[in-house]
Structure 1
Amino acid sequence: MNYIIREILEKEYSLLENFLYEAIFVPKGVPAPPRSVIEQLELQVYVTDFGKKKDDIALVAEVGTKVVGAVWVRIMNDYGHIDDVTPSFAISLYKEYRGWGIGTALMQEMLCILKRRGYHQASLAVQKENYAVKLYKKVGFEIVDENEEEYIMVCYL
């Protein structure tokens, strides 16, 4: 599949809400939550006022003229929060574009950008059942903590 990865345009910031919803892991046999779930404060931290802080960075994957995936980071007190100098990751692709290597490419490009900008590590949280755990390990994330439901992972840059 042919795709390009590029920086998100300011006029596309609203797409992050779509990708935030797509990033919600839904175990097999469990109905997806209503889209309104992203309005909860603990999820809004990923998108509210995105682009207004120096640590807000986002990339998108585009197939033809359609944005099909996004990866974004910001320093925030989210599920994967490590400290106040470590950016936390969010990533998702529309379902029909998963499994083509696009997510890996998005993650790798973001990690390169973070390293060039002088960050020493990045973090994320992921449910233990989520198939994406393999992707995160593949691009260099390690499990540093866990609770009953999820892993906290860090990639040292």
Structure 2
Amino acid sequence: MHEDAAAVIRPLREDEAHLLEDFLYEAIYVPEGVTTRPPRSIIDDDPKCRAHFEGFGTLPDDRALVAETGGRVVGACWVRTTDCYGHIDDATPAFAVSLYREFRGQGIGTRMLRRMLEELREAGYARASLGVAKGNPALHLYKRLGFRIVGDGSDDTEWLMVCELRPS
């Protein structure tokens, strides 16, 4: 895989907020060897999933970046302080990040995450959080970027991770 220098990382436009629903579905971890994906209805049926995208842009802490290549949005990285997966408290933005499959492993997600972490630091947030399936290989990326496991997430299949944004 190659580093994709062609992808432009930019803020999500208001008229693109609907894309977050698609990217949240893409973010659902499907373990190696499992050939079927969960039904798309899962993101609407689960209140913690819906909280990642419903009314995005209406909360003061809503922030989102997208990766665009060839005029097409191919990934998104966003945070909210609502009761979604990875939520710790109302002062800590919880991450969601996703890329279409064919754009994974090229460094695009890393670039989006780094930029969002920097934006949160500059805005004065103390920390950020996320929830990740325990078997998800992205766990290694999150650790490289400074996230650490603080315990189980919403259940025992998920880790809750935190990244301290202020120097200790």
Please give the range of the TM-score, normalised by the shorter of the 2 chains: over 0.9
Aligned residue number for residue 32 of structure 1: 37
Question: CA offsets, 1:110-155, max 9 Å, x none?
Answer: 0000011110100001011001001111111011112521111000
**Is the contact made by 2:132 and 2:160 (CA closer than 8 Å) also made in structure 1?**
yes
**1:61 corresponding residue in structure 2:** 67
C-alpha separation between the residues in 1 aligned to 2:85 and 2:112?
21
The answer to whether the aligner puts 1:150 opposite 2:155 as a matched pair is: no
1:118-157 correspondence runs (5 A) = 118-146=124-152, 148-157=156-165
TM-score (ref. length: structure 2):
0.90
- Asked if structure 1 preserves the Cα contact closer than 8 Å seen for 2:49 and 2:85, the reply is no
Give 1:86's aligned residue: 92
Tell me how far apart the structure 1 counterparts of residues 137 and 83 of structure 2 sit (CA, whole Å).
Answer: 24
**How many angstroms apart in 2 are the aligned matches of 1:50 and 1:42?**
14
Structure 2 unaligned blocks of 5 or more:
none
Partner-residue secondary structure (3-state), 2:118: helix
Paired residue total: 157
Q: Distance in 2 between matches of 1:131 and 1:88?
A: 19
1:54-109 deviation per Cα after TM superposition (whole angstroms, max 9, x unaligned): 10000000111010000000001123121110000000000000000000000000
TM-score (norm 1): 0.97
Aligned to 1:12: 16
Other structure's SS at 1:153 match: strand
Give me the identity figure in percent: 53
User: After TM superposition, which residue ranges in structure 1, 4 or more long, deviate above 2 angstroms?
Assistant: none
